[in-house]
Amino acid sequence: MKIIINGLQLNNENSGIGKMLLEIVNKLSKTHDITVIVPKGIELDNINTIEIPYKNSQKIRRSVYQSFLLGKKYCENAILITTDSKIPLIIPKTTVVLPIITDLALFKMPESYAFFQRILWKMQYKVLLKHCKKYIAISNSTKKDMIDILKINDSDIKVIYCAANDDIQNIEGACDDLPKKYMFFIGNMNPRKNILKIYEAYKKAKLALNLPHKLVIAGPIGWRYKKILRKLKNDSEVILKGYVTEEEKVALYKNADIFLFPTLYEGFGIPILEAQALGIPVITSNNSSMPEVAGDGAILVNPNDVEEITSAIEKLVDDEKLRQELMKKGYENVKRFSWEKVAIEIGEIIKEEQ
């Protein structure tokens, strides 16, 4: 059977799922003959691709194409690897669908998404559950959500962790106009990322200890972001970097004093591993996948408790021994994860299904 990967979420400024897809495609292509279906204008070096007529930004047309044409045109006698609910509504009987479920925020935090998205994605999940026999979850936390919410059998779900870029420590970072002292957050700007509470905790710690630090926030604009931007854009202590390149991202991590990632919900949390790999003390949440991913190499906090986040910041600023301890544990923790391992484990499932 041919191997088709649904890459319609890829764009020229990938983060989150896009980054994950690129890593899987690049590693899996070394051992398997794969074809990636991509939006118009997206090119992948040395990878077989099929370009659909619509750009990533043409969301409605892209969704219609995925729902009604993609399956019939490209998925006969194929293993279709896709993410979450991104599945054709019309699927040939000869198609084996292998979904990589990143999170179930659609069900856990429905208020974070537009009405149209909720309707379409829930419809897609109904189709998915009828067609799939095997599933990949990117964390045990996501697996538990799949069992609890989607009622999928435990034995049908294989947990395959994500990773940081395997070469991230060898990338020479470069980023202009960095302040001398700062705390750092990176992520798609949307309500799930808890940016306003992160900002509030930063301001409290800064005032309490008279800190010179600025708050640097990087990542593309997501959805329902206007309230967040209104709060941040007029504060001279906050630097909004927007989307950053891999080189810029590495520099932002390496020069930060603290990495702040107490988000409301994650299916995995790759930035935690990126910060640990680059030797930055991490503050992250005590919920969903984040304790599982961070291991012992982070301070875990309740993301809804601003005072708790503030206290964690103050500890890391004051306690050099704690900082060094977290950095050491972070380095060790990152060794548990690799994209090479991800490709091998996905390859084993492909072999079973072919």
DSSP per-residue string spanning 135-153: EEESSHHHHHHHHHHS---
pLDDT score at 115 = 85
Mean pLDDT of 64-92: 93
Nearest-angstrom CA–CA distance, 185 and 120: 31
Whether 337 has a pLDDT exceeding 90, the answer reads yes
- Name the pLDDT band for 354 (thresholds 50, 70, 90): confident
Sign of CA dihedral 170, 173, 179, 180: positive
Sheet holding 96-101, edge to edge: 48-51, 34-38, 2-6, 78-83, 96-101, 135-137, 157-159
- Looking at the DSSP assignment, which residues form a beta bridge with residue 42? none
- In the chain, the percentage of residues whose pLDDT exceeds 70 is 99
Residue the block writes with tokens 């977290």: 326
Nearest-angstrom CA–CA distance, 260 and 56: 30
Nearest-angstrom CA–CA distance, 20 and 15: 8
pTM for the full predicted model? 0.95
From 93, 209, 104, 83, select the one nearest 150 (Cα to Cα).
104
Sheet holding 299-301, edge to edge: 238-242, 214-218, 182-186, 258-261, 282-285, 299-301
From 241, 244, 173, select the one nearest 19 (Cα to Cα).
244
Mean pLDDT of 60-72: 91
Distances (CA, A) of 135 to 76, 96, 138, 155, 156: 20, 11, 10, 10, 6
The number of angstroms, rounded, from the C-alpha of 317 to the middle of its chain's C-alpha atoms is: 28
Nearest-angstrom CA–CA distance, 29 and 130: 29
Span 284-328, pLDDT tens digits: 999 999 999 999 999 999 999 999 999 999 999 999 999 999 999
Span 150-209, pLDDT tens digits: 999 999 999 999 999 989 999 988 888 899 999 999 998 888 999 999 999 999 999 999
Neighbours of 294 (CB within 10 A): 26
Highest mean pLDDT among 103-112, 132-141, 220-229: 132-141
Nearest-angstrom CA–CA distance, 288 and 285: 8
CATH number of 168-334: 3.40.50.2000
Cβ–Cβ under 8 Å, residues 262 and 284: yes
Sign of CA dihedral 272, 278, 279, 281: negative
Nearest-angstrom CA–CA distance, 109 and 199: 21
Span 206-260, pLDDT tens digits: 999 999 999 999 988 766 677 787 888 889 999 999 999 999 999 999 999 999 9
CATH architecture of 2-163+338-353: 3-Layer(aba) Sandwich (3.40)
Mean pLDDT of 17-31: 94
Whether 351 has a pLDDT exceeding 70, the answer reads yes
Nearest-angstrom CA–CA distance, 144 and 150: 10
What is the chain's Cα-based Rg? 20
DSSP structural state of residue 95: P
DSSP string, 50-80: EE-SS-TT-HHHHHHHHHHTHHHHH-TTEEE
Mean pLDDT of the chain: 93
- Looking at the DSSP assignment, which residues form a beta bridge with residue 81? 5, 98
Tokens of 322: 């704690």
Where along the chain do its domains lie? 2-163+338-353, 168-334
